[in-house]
Structure 1
Amino acid sequence: MVEHIVVIGAGVYGAAVTASLTRRGARVTVVDAGAPGSGTSGATFSWTNSCGKQPRPYHDLNVAGMQAHRQLAAEVPHSDWYHEGGNLEWAADDAEHEELRKKVAGVLDYGYEARWLSRAEALHLEPDIDPAGLPADGIAYFPREGWIEPTRLIGHLLSSAVSHGAELVHDDPVTGLDSTAGLVRTVRLASGRQLSADAVVNCAGPQAARIAEFAGLVLPMRNTRGVLIHTSPVAVSVSRVIHAPHVHLRPDGAGRLLLHSPETDGAAYVSDTGDISVEPSAVTRVLEAGRALYPGLRAATVESVRVGERPIPSDGLPVLGRAVELPNFHFAVSHSGATLSLHAGDLVAAEALGEDRVEALAAFRFERL
């Protein structure tokens, strides 16, 4: 019988798993090396989508993740962390447009909502865009997509879990796991505390491979860095996620915008002091691209730059559910955690308590790696 579950990591996955476990009546301790939401979950574009994700089981998992966000937002009064404003995307040249056309055709074939807009239709949705920055047509619109504010969501999930008896341990890294008879029995912390466990859920994000190693398991990961630029407050109307050729952006609360460009991710480097820094010229290029698209951004300055480490299993797909050779050790690790965490976290929590989720998790088992 599962009496006490230790969840490692208090980001969006750890918070979602913990909340689901406590709703089901489990006794849970969630531990984190830092503060809740201070890792990847606090440095993410947090776009909720299933736009072009393959194969089909992965697409369907993301669609279910989007629905889980809608459902929670509808159930919780003042759930202001969830924003379903849609996503606009267009291409820079013919080759990129052909790729976008294939993506739209693919999601439409799956029954996913998408349609093509003209420049005038896009400007009706985003009137502050410079018309010269838009093509005459061929603008893809995905109306059910959006974004979340991860730390606000984490706060809700953890406060709900703690109010139902969960214990939150922060700033206390996991230093080891003790196993006997093919099961994890103890989670050891840097403070010297030892937590007895009937089950363990690995929600450690970029550190998931290290936690798996403590359990004697090899989790191949190919983590990448993501550079996010937060602007100062600016009087510009941006209501949805924008994927333009040279800049991605979305609202970030209190009049701020969040900017990103894949080209800038490679500008992050480890400095002589061991800190992660970003080439200033790369940040300037992204801000200038944003200003070119939204002229009202000319008054904006860079308020902060954050670098997150994206946890990506080696084949790009999530790793979810129990490990066969260590059946009380469970994974909840993936890219797209902002989209997936509520739904996938609930599936993992249910399985950790002995419920049958074999079919739902079949495509995402650790053993495939």
Structure 2
Amino acid sequence: MVETVVVVGAGVYGAAVTASLARRGARAVVVDAGAPAGGTSGATFSWINSCGKQPRAYHELSVAGMEAHRRLAAEAPDGGWYHEGGNLEWADDDLGRERLRTKVAGVLAYGYDARWLSRAEVLGLEPGIDPARLPADEIAYFPREGWIEPAPLVHHLLSGALSRGAELVRGDAVTGLEVTGGRVRAVRLASGRRLPADAVVNCAGPQAARIAAFAGLVLPMRNASGVVVCTSAVAAVSVSRVVHGPRVHLRPDGAGRLLLHTPGIDGAVRASGAVEQSAIDELLEAGRALCPGLRAATVEDVRIGERPIPGDGLPVLGRVNELPNLHFAVSHSGVTLSVHAGDLVAGEVLGEDHGDILAPFRFERF
């Protein structure tokens, strides 16, 4: 019988798993080497989507993740972390346009909400964009997508779990797992504390492979740096949804601020952990060019995280056959998937059968 579950990691996945376990009546202990939402969850673009994800099972899991966020936000209308305004995307060269057409056709074939807009229609949604930066047509719009604020979401999930008897251990890294008789028996912490466990859930994000290794498992990961740049507040900024332009990706970040990103800036992280200033300046200039209201903005914050990406790019979810009381909840797109996938994993920890959904994402595929 599962009574005490130790959850490793207090990001969006760890918080979601802990909240779900607590709702089901289990005693959950969530452990983090730092603070809740202090790792990757606090340095992410946090775009909620299933835009072009393959294979079909991954797409469907992400769609269910989007719906789980809607339900959770409806249950807590004053939470303020969930923003569903859609996503705009366009390209400025032939190859980019062909890729976008292929993506739109693919998601439409799956029944996903997508449509083509003209420049005039986009300006009706986002008047703060410079019209000269938009093509006349073929601007893709995915109206059910959006973004979340990870820290308030994690706080909501964990506060609910703590009110139901869960325990949060922060600032205490996991240093080992005790495994005997084909089961994990306890989790050891840097402080010297030993946490007996009937089950363990590895939600350690970029550290998931290290935690797996404590149990003698090899989890292939190809983690990558992730950088987002937050602008200062500017009253003239009026962007209200996720925007993927050819030179810059952006979304609101509250109080007149925008969050900026491009894949290129992710590669500008130096060995020291700092980001090349030229890359930051270039990104800000791209944001100003797309949204003239940003001309008075400066860089307020540069957030650097390590994105957890399993070796084949797909999530790793659910129990391990070799150690059936050890479970995974690790993926890229963790913000999109966390609430739904975390609930599935928590249910499986406590004996529910979600094998039909989780089968494509098992650890054993490696």
TM-score (norm: length of structure 2): 0.99
Of all paired residues, the percent bearing the same amino acid is 76
Partner of 1:269: 270
Q: Does 1:344 align with 2:341?
A: yes
Partner of 1:35: 35
Residue 233 of structure 2 aligns with an amino acid whose one-letter code is P
For 1:301 and 1:53, the matched residues in 2 are separated by 34
For 1:81 and 1:360, the matched residues in 2 are separated by 27
Partner of 2:304: 307
Residue 134 of structure 1 aligns with an amino acid whose one-letter code is L
SS where residue 324 of structure 2 aligns? strand
Shift of 1:75: 1.0
Residue 263 of structure 2 aligns with an amino acid whose one-letter code is P
For 1:140 and 1:71, the matched residues in 2 are separated by 26
Partner of 1:329: 326
For 2:124 and 2:326, the matched residues in 1 are separated by 50
Q: Does 1:298 align with 2:295?
A: yes
Over residues 180-238 of structure 1, what are the superposed CA-to-partner deviations in whole Å (9 max), with x where a residue is unaligned? 10000010000000000000000000000000000110000000011110000012100
Residue 238 of structure 1 aligns with an amino acid whose one-letter code is V
SS where residue 100 of structure 1 aligns? helix
Partner of 2:314: 317
For 1:82 and 1:31, the matched residues in 2 are separated by 25
Residue 96 of structure 2 aligns with an amino acid whose one-letter code is E
For 2:226 and 2:191, the matched residues in 1 are separated by 31
Of the structure 1 ranges 261-270 and 243-252, higher mean CA displacement relative to structure 2 is found in: 261-270
Shift of 1:79: 2.1
Residue 152 of structure 1 aligns with an amino acid whose one-letter code is P
Shift of 1:73: 0.6
Over residues 238-282 of structure 1, what are the superposed CA-to-partner deviations in whole Å (9 max), with x where a residue is unaligned? 0000000000000001111100011111100122xxxx1000000
Over residues 298-317 of structure 1, what are the superposed CA-to-partner deviations in whole Å (9 max), with x where a residue is unaligned? 00000011111100000000
For 1:92 and 1:188, the matched residues in 2 are separated by 53
Partner of 1:279: 276
User: How many pairs were matched up?
Assistant: 365
What do you get for the CA RMSD once the two structures are aligned?
0.5
Q: Does 1:128 align with 2:128?
A: yes
Shift of 1:76: 1.3
Counterpart mapping for 1:59-70 below 5 A: 59-70=59-70
Residue 169 of structure 1 aligns with an amino acid whose one-letter code is V
Shift of 1:88: 0.2
Q: Does 1:255 align with 2:256?
A: yes
Gaps of 5+ in 1: none
Residue 180 of structure 1 aligns with an amino acid whose one-letter code is T
Partner of 2:226: 226
Residue 10 of structure 2 aligns with an amino acid whose one-letter code is A
For 1:270 and 1:186, the matched residues in 2 are separated by 35
Q: Does 1:108 align with 2:108?
A: yes
Counterpart mapping for 1:92-241 below 5 A: 92-235=92-235, 236-241=237-242
SS where residue 221 of structure 1 aligns? coil
For 1:269 and 1:157, the matched residues in 2 are separated by 34
SS where residue 68 of structure 2 aligns? helix
Partner of 1:83: 83
For 2:293 and 2:24, the matched residues in 1 are separated by 49
Partner of 1:357: 354
Shift of 1:34: 0.1
Residue 111 of structure 1 aligns with an amino acid whose one-letter code is G
For 2:77 and 2:60, the matched residues in 1 are separated by 28
